[in-house]
Amino acid sequence: MAPFDLSGLGAGGSAALFIAIGILFGYVLEASGFGDSRKLAGQFYFTDLAVLKVMFTGIVVAMVLIVWTSSVGLLNFDDLWVNSTFLWPGIVGGLVMGVGFVVGGYCPGTSLVSMATLKKDGAMFVVGVLLGIFVFGESVELLEPFFSSGEMGRVTLGSALGLSPGVVVALVTVLALVFFVGADFIQKKLHGPVAPGRRVGRFTIPTLAAAGLVLAVIPLLFVKEPGYLDKWEKMTDKHALVTERQVQIDPAELLATMGDDALRLELLDLRPEPAYNRFHIQDAQRADLRGLEGARERLLHLPTNTVIVLVDQQEERSTKAFALLTAMGVRNVYLLEGGVDGWLSVYGDGPMRPGDGPALGERWAASRPNAHEGHEREYTKKIKLVVKAKKSGGCG
């Protein structure tokens, strides 16, 4: 499932990939007229609204494709970089950039294209951008706490407004189409006729394209977001982790991890409360299978050296929880081989039967056996800490 893990490409391969993406981006920008400051500024005087049309069309087309492929399970939206929302600096930054846009006639990306085609004003703008960035970097400390204010993390229009992605896409598409018609109308009123699109039969190509877009969006209105277990079913590349027992760790490896100062252990016990109260491994927190979705944000943002180990009486609930967490995009998840029964068969005096003994929680000797007292046990080490490179977005 996309997006792909690019670590196999190596440094050279990934550089080549990003250069290729950049070349296409630069080509599209230049061919659409974004290398000409007069055309860019024309949008603000309603003489030429092509720039707004290109941008808005680009956003809508990409959005429709992203939501379509996510809803049929080809793309994992959770893995995409979504710009974090910093409410106030974002808005004020936007207001400042609007001034620069009109005064300078470009934005950073378009000025690069203009410079590449040897335009002096484009090159001067690039120099200006570098200067502005320099000044910002040197003075950012003066801007705190404003620069970090209104931090909301990864918020989409859908989650903010309580709408499904399909409804958001439909609304944005309608907004875009109204805008396109309105733009031509205003331009015609102020500056005379707008060149009509080429015709195919009775309709112009833009009209046909708009109709196609609407037809593509309608089914999205009825798509329910797939649940995480549905997602897991489609993540066939990860199923071998469970079936080939690559994530089921030996009790001895859990014990070693408990004593490893370099790792932060998050031990989640999925058994019902009475069983947990009777006995659990030291520092295990009780977690409910159904409550895991609500804990998603917390689990995604644990410190990077955290290893999550799931514990059940045997392995039933922990295997299910593994599937859920993996589908949510949580990393470094393992489960205890054989569960509490397996743990007690190694460190306890035989499996603890229900009703056995008092509810001592973690005050049993078996909750934290001493690793140095004859408990050395051969096992295959399975925990490999994966630190995902912090994704930085478009302009991060």
Binders of another protein among residues 354 to 393 (CB under 8 A) are 391-393
Q: Which is nearer to another protein, 145 or 274 (CB)?
A: 145
The whole-angstrom separation of Cα 138 and Cα 177 is: 43
Note whether 14 binds another protein by CB under 8 A: yes
The whole-angstrom separation of Cα 232 and Cα 326 is: 7
Instruction: Give SS3 for 273.
Output: helix
Which residues, 125 to 144, sit near another protein by CB under 8 A? 125-138, 140-141, 143
Distance of CA 340 to the CA centre of its chain: 34
Q: Which is nearer to another protein, 28 or 240 (CB)?
A: 28
Q: Where does this chain touch another protein (CB under 8 A) — which range of 31-39, 251-259, 277-285, 365-373?
A: 31-39
Interface with another protein (CB under 8 A), residue from 73, 116, 226, 245: 116
User: Could you say which DSSP state residue 2 is in?
Assistant: B
The nearest distance, CB 192 to another protein, in angstroms, is: 15
Q: Which is nearer to another protein, 198 or 384 (CB)?
A: 198
The nearest distance, CB 260 to another protein, in angstroms, is: 26
Interface with another protein (CB under 8 A), residue from 10, 13, 72, 160: 160
One-letter amino acid at 268 equals L
* Residue where the block lists tokens 């929302």: 85
Applying CB under 8 A, the site for another protein has a residue count of: 136
Note whether 341 binds another protein by CB under 8 A: no
Instruction: Give SS3 for 63.
Output: helix
Interface with another protein (CB under 8 A), residue from 10, 13, 45, 190: 45
The whole-angstrom separation of Cα 350 and Cα 337 is: 16
Which residues, 167 to 226, sit near another protein by CB under 8 A? 168-169, 172, 197, 205-206, 209
Contact assessment for residue 338 and residue 243, using Cβ atoms and an 8 Å cutoff: no
Q: Where does this chain touch another protein (CB under 8 A) — which range of 83-91, 238-246, 254-262, 368-376?
A: 83-91
The nearest distance, CB 22 to another protein, in angstroms, is: 2
Instruction: List the one residue out of 223, 217, 222, 224 whose CA is nearest residue 171.
Output: 217
The nearest distance, CB 279 to another protein, in angstroms, is: 42
Contact assessment for residue 335 and residue 342, using Cβ atoms and an 8 Å cutoff: no
Note whether 12 binds another protein by CB under 8 A: no
Q: Which is nearer to another protein, 205 or 360 (CB)?
A: 205
Whether residue 3 has a cis bond before it, omega within 30° of 0: yes
Instruction: Please report how the helices 165-191 and 205-217 are oriented relative to each other, as an axis angle in degrees rounded to 10.
Output: 160
Instruction: Give SS3 for 266.
Output: strand
Interface with another protein (CB under 8 A), residue from 60, 220, 254, 340: 60
Note whether 93 binds another protein by CB under 8 A: yes
Residue-wise DSSP of 211-222: HHHHHHHGGGGG
